[in-house]
Structure 1
């Protein structure tokens, strides 16, 4: 996969079959497709479900990868505290996994970190190997800021969260 064009806010890729892939910030009209993609994994209980209202509130935090007007990947960088942000809802369509889309969209989110002045990026995940590959380290949940837990209180697994807490120091 190679970048063939960069436009502010967009990255256009071309892959071997000639398909054009667009990585961009999410828009309001993407929310139903984002939710549909997240729910594939939520039904398997490997990702938390997201309500439509929550996704509309978070839409400015999301990047998407689009192929033929279909969202095939999503990921959000959500500022949670003074110098912390959280990676939320990184999902790739099941038929598009292991092709680099997860890495590309995570890199796009992490690309915002320097301009925001974020020093620590955290995630709660079951995919620890993927995040370790991108420089995240497993941490004890108790070191995470309390503000991070504001979303957790609405989770069906709270307070017995079995996700793995990971953090990447950006300094």
Structure 2
């Protein structure tokens, strides 16, 4: 009694269209408590090829997605683990699957904005200035009602081989021009 059986072992797999309602319901159960942003079934379906699912006995108990922000930077989004499975290590297993996906797709870095920075630090991420994640800020954060009072921590992991000069956790775009971001001026009309 109390020992895990094979039926208790989570299976990680690619998401299918039939998973969209359960994924949206799981994510939105946390969004209702302001823990993450909501996702509609349509949003889940639009990113279906970048979602992984954790299931036990055919029941969805976790999910996560990997969304491209730039050709070199992807974001872990919609990482959710059912309340009954939290603390079991399942979140780390999902993150590991997403990092494998990111490497296979050729990304150099993976980021996340989170209310649980200690969890991501245990996975190997480092805290960075959220303004350094400009693609994330201007693609999604700008539409968030908490934009001006964001309580999330920006996390970043370099997944490509580090440069010979050493490890630098800042986004790649911040590693030029003396550490300042490079902005391109657009011609005025």
**Against the structure 1 CA distance between its residues 32 and 115, is the aligned structure 2 distance closer, same or farther, given a 3 Å change threshold?**
same
- Normalized against structure 2, the TM-score is what? 0.77
Q: Is the 8 A contact 2:131 2:137 kept in 1?
A: no
Q: Is the 8 A contact 1:81 1:145 kept in 2?
A: no
State the partner residue of 1:167: 156
**Against the structure 1 CA distance between its residues 24 and 135, is the aligned structure 2 distance closer, same or farther, given a 3 Å change threshold?**
same
**Against the structure 1 CA distance between its residues 59 and 18, is the aligned structure 2 distance closer, same or farther, given a 3 Å change threshold?**
same
Matches of 1:16 and 1:22, distance apart in 2: 14
What is the SS of the residue equivalent to 1:103?
helix
**1:141-156 to 2 correspondences below 5 Å:** 141-146=130-135, 149-156=138-145
Q: Aligned residue pairs: how many?
A: 157
Q: Is 1:18–2:10 an aligned residue pair?
A: no
* RMSD over aligned Cα atoms: 1.6
Larger Rg: 2
Q: 2:28 aligns with which of 39, 42, 51?
A: 39
Q: Which stretch of structure 1 is more off in the superposition, 159-168 or 117-126? A: 159-168
Matches of 1:142 and 1:27, distance apart in 2: 34
Structure 1 ranges of 4+ moved more than 6 A = none
1:70 shift after superposition: 1.4
1:164 shift after superposition: 0.6
Pick the structure with more strand per residue. Answer: 1
1:145 shift after superposition: 3.1
Q: Is 1:54–2:19 an aligned residue pair?
A: no
1:112 shift after superposition: 1.4
